[in-house]
Amino acid sequence: MKVCLGQINTTPGDFKGNLERVKKGIDIASAQNCDLIVFPELTLTGYLSQDLLYNPEYIEASLSTLEEIKRVSLVSNPMLHIVLGYVAMNPGPGKPYVNAAAVINQGQLISEYRKQLLPSYDVFDEVRYFEPGFEPACFSIKNSKIGIAVCEDLWNDKNSDDYNYKKNPALQYRDLGVDLLVSLNSSPYVQGKREQRFKKILDISKSGLDIVYVNQIGGQDELVFDGNSFVVQGGKVVLVAEEIFRDSYPIFDFQESGMESLGSKDPVDSFHELKDLLILGMKDYVEKSGFDQVVLASSGGVDSALVCMLACEALGSENVHAVRMPSIFSSEHSREDAIQLHQNLGCWDYEIPIVHESIVADLNERYAIHSNPLNLVYKKNSEKKYNPVADENMQARLRDIYIMHFSNAYRAMPLSTGNKTESACGYYTHFDMNFSFAPIKDLYKHQVFRLARSDARIPSNIWTKPPSAELAANQLDEESLLPYSILDPIVMAYVEGSISSFLLFRSWCLANGHVEISSDKIALQSWLESAVASDQYSSLVSLIGKMEYKRRQTCPGTKVSKVAFGIGRRIPIVEKWS
């Protein structure tokens, strides 16, 4: 049997574009005399469509597109069987739709499968829209019995989060004696997930079941899909589709295969994969939103430098506008570092100095003399307490205004440059993360440094100097917070592990082997044993909880971790636990 894997980049609601990608795959598979072509989960509607599914015209468009695929199949190679995902109506009680996979051959729907295991954790909420199926579905090609599964169906026990199902579709197919199982997937990227997929699918195949696993590619809002579609034959991974920046249609012939195992990707390469998927997530978010230019504030710091580099990779340096906005507290080396960065990358460079002191003075003068309806006048040296941090934040707010002006004037999407560690602690000026997209929103600070060090175009001074917001004289991040080698593990344990006590955190670091996320293991170990660690930890965890109101107002960014600040993490803003 000859199989084509349709690893494509779909978009919710782009029925015309999604159809063209499917038709291209059908043409390729037909020309190569394939027996079968498999596309991702919900191929026709795109994934995630969310509440667009409540629009009846949306569903009608999905069903109409399916009919068009049937017509296309009439003129394709008659041996070709097309398997793709779509939204079908649920004729019975329950939710209005089913997450379905259709098998089409010569204009006919010869089989239909309904996804049985519907995820409702993290970013997934399929039980909101779909009624689960209850039965397997099989069809035959050349005396081979083929079964169909959709994504979660092969993950009835994910081990990592105790989200276990009573049903196991993989066992159903084993009992039916199928020869080949095809799995349609829209599985978003999380670091380390590729290796988990290989292990899970290889475990399922141990009984002699061959598997074709097809996953989509591309960015969709906060998610990015990494593809990595693969074929398992004889308990070995024999094909992997590693192209992520464009649709690919690799072909595998089960009859001609020498069954040489490809293994899994070297873990050393996983960080390069992270970089590529950050680029892909940004590229798709910008271009699918109808933009071709971006603008960002470039300070000479490591966060903005990394965002600038990723933007140049995603969109081309000629489409990236980097604006330097020094204030009286900006160092000359930061100015020089930013200029050198822009020259190395080949992007646009602008300098717009920030003059904030006169604005602050004028505002405070006016606030000081303004009266209330009772004619009570606030005097300059009254009891009304003044927070000097407002003076610092005015600089950041003026920068936001200047970036938004450029965005409006020249139609360039504004990028935020904040990272996950700082976002957790609210260590950014309100509205500073409120632009259109935050490419490194889900990166811890140590990841930011590592990615910056990996690109020779980013001047070494940018990632060797101590991080600073440069909103006050001699200001350093780690004087306001803890060192990032300590802060990163605290944030990760709290956000991804729901750990909020010092004793549990200490165990998490030492016993569970997560200390490797620290950029300085010795410093972390020393801090854990210090007398002040427990109190500092409690203060920081409390701070992270209280900053939920700021994070809720931030723009989307690509999710790459198990738990990101975004649609997959649902915490009340007003609460007393933290």
Q: Which residues are catalytic?
A: 41, 115, 151
The single-letter code of the amino acid at 8 is: I
Provide the 3-class DSSP secondary structure of residue 231. Answer: strand
- Determine the Cα–Cα distance for residues 178 and 144; give it in Å rounded to an integer: 8
Single out the residue of 111, 102, 174, 169 nearest to residue 139, CA to CA.
111
Which DSSP symbol is given to 415?
B
Show contacts of 131-134: CB within 8 Å, 24+ apart: 131/90, 131/92, 131/94, 131/95, 131/96, 131/97, 131/98, 132/98, 133/98, 133/100
Query: How far is the C-alpha of 509 from the C-alpha of 499, rounded, in Å?
Result: 11
How crowded is the C-beta side of 68, counted as CA atoms within 13 Å? 15
C-alpha 280/C-alpha 562 separation (Å) is: 19
Q: Which of these, 355, 286, 343, lies nearest to 555 by C-alpha position?
A: 286
Angle (nearest 5°) at CA 244 between 80 and 554: 125
Q: Which helix (H) or strand (E) holds 409?
A: helix 389-410
SS (H, E, C) 422-464: HHHHCCCCCCCCCCCECCCCCCCHHHHHHHHHCCCCCCHHHHH
The span from the CA of 17 to the CA of 15, in Å, is 6
Report the candidate in 329, 324, 316, 325 with the shortest Cα–Cα distance to residue 341. 324
Q: In what order do the strands lie in the sheet with 413-414?
A: 348-351, 320-324, 294-297, 413-414
Structure tokens at 439: 């490419």
What is the rounded CA–CA span in Å between residue 372 and residue 18? 60
Measure the N-to-C terminal CA separation of the chain; round to a whole number of Å.
58
